[in-house]
Amino acid sequence: MTNKLNELIHQPSRLQIMALLYVIEEADMLYLKKKTGMTWGNLSSHLSKLEEVAYVEIMKSVENKKMRTTITLTDKGKSEYDSYRESILELVNGGAIE
């Protein structure tokens, strides 16, 4: 059986973001930045790519005259991440990847 790896998720930084969002309900930019060790620019750029394909939802709100950005994994994102994990496990267990 062959499976295709999702290349968008396979990129290490985005994989880190996806895995983190997968185990929580939501987080803000600062939390993601601290956990992933990325720069603001890098994080922002990867999140935009994930948002474009609707894997994550980015919500902005105003708090104490400051913008607060909250990020959550969408249902589509969760399902893509699940498929990605399955593909990786299959690969590790000797399956083929296209």
Mention every residue, 6+ apart, whose C-beta is less than 8 A from residue 81: 9, 18, 19, 22, 55, 73
Say whether residue 92 binds other proteins (CB under 8 A): no
Residue 96: name the closest of 11, 23, 2 by CA.
Answer: 2
Cβ closest to other proteins, residue 2 vs residue 58: 58
Q: Are 9 and 80 in contact (CB under 8 A)?
A: yes
Cβ closest to other proteins, residue 40 vs residue 54: 40
Instruction: Tell the smallest beta-carbon distance from residue 78 to other proteins (Å).
Output: 12
Q: Are 88 and 5 in contact (CB under 8 A)?
A: yes
Cβ closest to other proteins, residue 30 vs residue 91: 30
Only one of the segments 4-12, 18-26, 50-58, 90-98 lies at the binding site for other proteins (rule: CB under 8 A); that segment is 18-26
Say whether residue 70 binds other proteins (CB under 8 A): yes
